[in-house]
Amino acid sequence: MQALADNASASLPALVGYLWGVHEQGSPEAFDDFLEGPIGATLPPELRVAIAVRGPAMGRGIERVLSELSELTPAEGAAALFGWHRSLSGQQALRLFGDWTDRIESQGDYNAVVGFAGMVLHNADETWDLLRDTVYRLVMMRQRFPGVGREERAWARLAERFLPGHAVEICKLYLDSIEAGDFTMHEGSEDSALLLRCAAAEPIEVWGEVSRRLEAGSWRVELSLRWWLIGSIPAEVIDSWIGSDVGRARIAASVTSVGGDEPTQLARTLLARFGTDDEITSSLAGAFISGSWLGNESDRIAAQIDQLRGWVSRASEPQGVRAWARRMIRSLEIRRSQALQREAERD
């Protein structure tokens, strides 16, 4: 035993195997007795925890491990406890997360605790009331540690638990981080899906936060949210915000999608009321022709022309919409001819 302990780092599997053998021979306290005995007590805390978590998860051992985790960083502790998360009581989890959130000092610490919290709370709603305040504190700490990487989904699932009540606070956290250049949000990501849920929960307040930054000229927010967020805000909210203000109409045009077989409601409103403004019509044109595709570019442009011809032929569309569509058709026909020429030369 002493020989195994003297070189515990290298002989950890052998030492753990020996202790399990003693355990199975009728000594259920084998791991605890070793770690609390004269040999185990001399080991460094990271090894003591490593040995303990490879043994049975019982009350005495869990309590000792929780005490010793204070000597490890949160990242080290979360990695060591993997697998034992199901054995923690609500009070033990509260104690653990309280200690960790007080001692998070790096992005690695933060990501590890977020991931561990996601595991503890997965299908464990009975502990939620105990952990709510501590987890909210952890969620909002992303302002300091924005690069969650592979833990983005875990963070989003934790933050989602605070909707609708804290939708605006979560929105502000996102927007502040985007403005600071800490990350860029992409449509289809876990973060973007959560921001859409925030907008659905509190559309007026969320649009107020977004629009305030857009009016202040935040190009990072514009680039991150362009074409996908505004569609989740009820049309009447955007319409009321714009009013007769052409400046606000230009801002809305810079971040809205235009539509396909028919225009979006916001695009329709903008073209009907501000269809003679070059900046607005140019923004909408850019949104309409943007995107990726498979196959020949000429085929894609032909499909776009067909869509716009539907707009022109629909008598119910406002005059501004149909006039814009006609201009777009003329422009796209030129682009299609050029694309056909390039394709012929390539073949």
State the CB neighbour count (10 A cutoff) for residue 259: 20
Tell me which residue has tokens 């105990």. 130
Q: Of 22-26, 68-72, 209-213, which range is least confident?
A: 22-26
Q: Indicate whether 11 pLDDT > 80.
A: no
pLDDT digits (tens, 9 = 90+) for 247-287: 999 999 999 999 999 999 999 999 999 999 999 999 999 99
pLDDT digits (tens, 9 = 90+) for 19-67: 778 878 888 887 777 777 887 777 887 788 888 777 777 777 788 888 8
On the 0-12 / 13-18 / 19+ scale of CB atoms within 10 A, 236 is: exposed
Q: Indicate whether 10 pLDDT > 70.
A: no
Q: Indicate whether 6 pLDDT > 70.
A: no
Q: What is the 3-state secondary structure (H, E, C) of the chain?
A: CHHHHHCCCCCHHHHHHHHHHHHHCCCCCHHHHHHHCCCHHHCCHHHHHHHHCCCCCCHHHHHHHHHHHHHCCHHHHHHHHCCCHHHCCHHHHHHHHHHHHHHCCCHHHHHHHHHHHHHHHCCCHHHHHHHHHHHHHHHHHHHCCCCCHHHHHHHHHHHHCCCCCCHHHHHHHHHHHHHCCCCCCCCCCHHHHHHHHHHHHCHHHHHHHHHHHHHCCCHHHHHHHCCCCHHHCCHHHHHHHHCCCHHHHHHHHHHCCCECCCECHHHHHHHHHHCCCHHHHHHHHHHHHCCCCCCCHHHHHHHHHHHHHHHHHCCCCCHHHHHHHHHHHHHHHHHHHHHHHHHHHHC
Residues facing 259 on adjacent strands: 263
Residues facing 222 on adjacent strands: none
pLDDT digits (tens, 9 = 90+) for 83-136: 777 778 889 899 999 999 999 999 999 999 999 999 988 876 778 889 999 999
What is the spatial distance between Cα 273 and Cα 257, in angstroms, rounded to a whole number? 17
- What are the structural domain ranges in the chain? 1-72
What is the spatial distance between Cα 118 and Cα 116, in angstroms, rounded to a whole number? 5
pLDDT digits (tens, 9 = 90+) for 144-166: 999 999 999 999 999 999 999 99
pLDDT band at 201 (very low <50, low <70, confident <90, very high): very high
Q: Indicate whether 4 pLDDT > 70.
A: no
Q: What is the largest CA-CA distance in the chain?
A: 90
